[in-house]
Amino acid sequence: MDTGDLQQALVSTIREEYEHNVTQQIYVSDKAWSKVKQAKEETIRLVNLSYEQVGEHPSSSELSRRIFENIARLSHTPSQEALVVLKDEVRRMF
């Protein structure tokens, strides 16, 4: 798999997971679901940014390495931020 294939597969998988879970929005507040949607968009941006940084010709392992490097620079991943909001909301409900 080259970098372009990996980038497309990652973005497609992220979108598919979001769509698979879209019905869950009826169980959470608009604020919480907005954070989930934001996490999806930011994760896709992170994958695309990493792809732009390595270009089309390096190996897919180089793209993977760059994604992990970019994630390591963050204090919290987009998914972690969304989970905090969701967990806080669930704690308030129960």
For the stretch 32-61, pLDDT in tens is: 999 999 999 999 999 999 999 998 778 899
Task: Report CA 59 to chain centroid distance, whole Å.
Answer: 21
> For the chain, what is the domain count?
1
Confidence at 24, pLDDT banded by 50, 70, 90: confident
Could you tell me the two tokens for 16? 């598919």
Q: Looking at residues 23-37, what average pLDDT do you find? A: 89
pTM for this one?
Answer: 0.88
Q: Is 57 exposed, middle or buried (0-12, 13-18, 19+ CB in 10 A)?
A: exposed
Range of the domain at 21: 3-93
User: Which DSSP symbol is given to 60?
Assistant: H
Residue 9 scores a pLDDT above 90? yes
Alpha helices (H) in 1-94, listed in sequence order: 3-20, 30-54, 60-72, 78-93
Cα–Cα dist 35/8, whole Å: 23
